[in-house]
Structure 1
Amino acid sequence: MEARPKLHYPNGRGRMESVRWALAAAGVEFDEEFLETREQLHKLQKGKHLLFQQVPMVEIDGMKLVQTRSILHYIAEKYHLFGSDLKEKTLIDMYVEGTLDLLEMIITHPFLKPEDQQKEVVSMTQKAVIRYFPVFEKILRDHGQKFLVGNQLSLADVILLQTILALEEKVPNILAAFPHLQEFTVKISNVPTIKKFLEPGSKKKPPPDDVYVRTVYTIFAP
Structure 2
Amino acid sequence: MSGVKLVYFNGRGKAELIRLALTYVGIEFEEVYLKEKSEIEKLRSDGDLLFQQVPLLEIDGKRIVQSGAILRYLARRGGIYGNNNDESTRIDELFEGTRDFCGPLLGMIFRPEEDVLKEAKEKLLPRYLPVFNKVLEETGSGYLVGKSLTLADLGLIEPLLILVEYLGDQVLTGYPQLQSFYKNITSDEKIASFLVGPHRKPKNDQAYVDTVRRVLNW
| Range into which the TM-score falls when normalised by the shorter chain | over 0.9
Matched, 1:180 2:177: yes
CA-CA distance at 1:89 after TM superposition:
0.6
Give the aligned residue type for 2:211.
Answer: T
- Of all paired residues, the percent bearing the same amino acid is 38
Alignment of 1:68-217 (within 5 A): 68-112=67-111, 114=112, 117-172=113-168, 173-199=170-196, 201-217=197-213
CA-CA distance at 1:209 after TM superposition:
0.6
Aligned 8 A contact 1:25 1:158 in 2 = no
- Report the RMSD for the aligned CA atoms in angstroms: 1.4
Q: Deviation per CA, 1:196-217: give whole Å up to 9, x if none.
A: 1112x33111110111011111
3-state SS, counterpart of residue 7 of structure 2: strand
Q: How many residues align?
A: 217
Aligned 8 A contact 1:21 1:162 in 2 = no
Q: Deviation per CA, 1:131-172: give whole Å up to 9, x if none.
A: 111111011112211211111110111111111011112211
Aligned 8 A contact 1:3 1:61 in 2 = no
Where does the alignment leave 5 or more consecutive residues of structure 1 unmatched? none
Give the aligned residue type for 2:188.
Answer: V
3-state SS, counterpart of residue 185 of structure 2: helix
Aligned 8 A contact 2:139 2:146 in 1 = no
Aligned 8 A contact 2:7 2:32 in 1 = yes
CA-CA distance at 1:110 after TM superposition:
1.6
In the superposition, the TM-score normalised over structure 2's length comes to 0.95
In the superposition, the TM-score normalised over structure 1's length comes to 0.93
CA-CA distance at 1:3 after TM superposition:
4.1
2:44 maps to which residue? 45
Where does the alignment leave 5 or more consecutive residues of structure 2 unmatched? none
Give the aligned residue type for 1:63.
Answer: K
CA-CA distance at 1:87 after TM superposition:
0.9
- Cα distance in 2 between the residues matched to 1:184 and 1:4: 34
Structure 1 runs (4+) greater than 4 angstroms displaced = none
- Cα distance in 2 between the residues matched to 1:43 and 1:198: 32
CA-CA distance at 1:194 after TM superposition:
0.7
3-state SS, counterpart of residue 110 of structure 1: coil
CA-CA distance at 1:221 after TM superposition:
1.4
3-state SS, counterpart of residue 171 of structure 2: coil
CA-CA distance at 1:130 after TM superposition:
1.3
